[in-house]
Amino acid sequence: MIKKFIANLFGNGPARPSFGKRQEVGPQEHGIDPSLVDERAANVVHTLKEAGHEAYIVGGAVRDLLVGLRPKDFDVATSATPEQVKALFRRAFIIGRRFRIVHVVFGRGREHEVIEVSTFRAYMDNAAAEAVAGNEKTSKNELAGLKHAVDSSGRVLRDNVWGPQEEDATRRDFTINAMYYDPETQTVVDYHGGIKDAKKRVIRMIGDPLTRYREDPVRLIRAVRFVAKLSGLGFKIEPKTAKPLLECRALLADVPQSRLFDEMLKLLQTGHSLATIEQLQALGMAKGIYPLLDLVVERAEQPFVKAALQDTDRRVSEEKPVAASFLLACVLWSDVRDGWAQRLERKQHPFPALQDAIDDVFNARIGDVSGRGKLGADMREIWMMQPRFEKRVGQTPFSLVEQPRFRAAFDFMRLRAETGEVDVVLADWWQEFSQASDELREDLVAQLRQEQHRGQRRVRPPRPPAPPAGEPMPPAEGEGAEPSPEGAEAGADVPRKRRRRRRKPTGAGGAAAGEPSAPSDES
């Protein structure tokens, strides 16, 4: 009823966008390889259709399939409500508030897979929300869903009003993300020329770009992300879609900081971080999206940060896990290192000095968004382990290698070695130690101790020549002189030898002249 009311009232009005014309494209025209479709996603579609609902694979997965890529994530759109979806699957969870969706979970542990299922949404703007809310037949539940749906600037605050598929397609952002694929019939449903744009390698906004950016300013960030991700395939952003980017950038100030933080991580962790930074600079968006992202762009050419970004892109391409804590720890390391050095100059104890430097960086750069949660704890552990790598004697190496965050901290130290901040020999030693058996680890520590002994003897400076007659002899090392730096470093790991006291000449009684004799051992 509400769907018909919206369509009758606004379907042909100039303020409403065109809902497009439904086109069904068969496999011979779109050319999607069915073997690239995830079996579990196809199973979700089949289950929903068997229950009498419409269901399709949707969004970026369809876009990737069209250009011959195997999608990493599969989303499903359906006419079923979240409650109806949840009832059909054993492990399904309704999440979200602004945008309620269902996560259908397959498998367990690290091998688990999540298929995200969303209900077809109605296209909502201020006029539509007010019209539906003013209708006498609108239920209380529907009114609750509409309350504060759109603010005065046009930003959509709530998006839980269900609607037909053609409206769901219109409320999506870009044409290449608004296609629906049925894996059973191998048909693509397209309302806005997404297939045509995919073939032309064009990223184009559905409807008026300025209005769509105001509805959800995060689309500004998504536009940059898609351009960076697809630029390698020849995709370019349409000029009309790109033009309002700078004009609308100020709208991001109204977006919750936590959401901007998450969007920043998506920019940096989708395997195209360096390309993303290039696009931000090319589009004039290098500053003003999020302060921490501004810092990443600013430091991207620093050898250590650039190596971290390259390493992240490489791991994503190899389908290895990546952690936001590692990348952010690399970006902020220079702040921590400099703050630590300043405190050491003021004679503060090393470990409290490092902790204080870390606290200052969290307060200045991250704040309360995520810096006090697990991400912040992981970053702190990575940083706090760095000085411990320098100590390779006693039980320190054995305890350090058992720490949960050892691998991340070691990878961090390895990048430091690759960029010349620490000796590469240190990284090689820890690489061998971490992969060795217990017996071999004992041998590695013993061998290092022997090398330090030999090194101590080898680098000890020669005794200075004897002074001219009449001048006092300078004290030898160990007899009042300051030890050499090399000796101090080695001596920290080697027990100090006890120096025997030289006896003075004794008289007939066995004691020094003029002193009482000491008792013998036998007395």
- CA dist 505 → 473, 494, 511 (Å): 21, 33, 8
b/e map of 84-96 (b: 16 or more CB within 10 Å)? bbbebbeebeeee
Reported confidence tier of residue 142, pLDDT bands at 50, 70, 90: very low
Collapsing DSSP states into helix, strand and coil, what is residue 138?
Answer: coil
The CATH topology of domain 1-200 is Beta Polymerase; domain 2 (3.30.460)
| Residue 173 designated active-site | yes
Q: Which residue has the higher pLDDT, 404 or 452?
A: 404
pLDDT digits (tens, 9 = 90+) for 74-84: 999 999 999 99
- Provide CATH code, domain 207-300: 1.10.3090.10
* Options 38, 64, 75, 190, the catalytic residue: 75
pLDDT digits (tens, 9 = 90+) for 368-427: 665 457 888 999 999 999 999 999 988 989 999 999 999 999 999 999 999 999 999 999
| DSSP output for 286-349 | SSSS-HHHHHHHHHTTSHHHHHHHHHHHHHHHTT----HHHHHHHHHHHHHHHHHHHHHHTT--
Report d(CA 176, CA 179) in Å as an integer. 7
Paired tokens of 252: 């991001």
Quickly tell me which residue has 């703007």 as its tokens: 125
pLDDT digits (tens, 9 = 90+) for 292-310: 999 999 999 999 999 999 9
Mean pLDDT of 432-458: 84
Query: Is 324-457 a CATH 3.90.550.10 domain?
Result: no
* Options 64, 173, 197, 378, the catalytic residue: 173
CA 403: distance to chain centroid?
A: 21
Specify whether the CB–CB gap between 54 and 61 falls below 8 A. no
pLDDT digits (tens, 9 = 90+) for 491-501: 444 444 444 44
Percentages helix, strand, coil for the chain, rounded to the nearest 5? 55, 10, 35
| Statement: residue 145 has pLDDT above 90 | no
pLDDT digits (tens, 9 = 90+) for 331-364: 999 999 999 999 999 999 999 999 999 999 998 8
Domain ranges for the chain, please list them: 1-200, 207-300, 324-457
| Residue 75 designated active-site | yes
Label each residue of 207-276 as H, E or C. CCHHHHHHHCCHHHHHHHHHHHHHHHHCCEECHHHHCCHHHHHHHHHHCCHHHHHHHHHHHHHCCCHHHH
What was the pLDDT predicted at 158? Answer: 53
What was the pLDDT predicted at 236? Answer: 93
Domains 207-300 and 324-457 share a fold: yes
Mean pLDDT of 37-55: 96
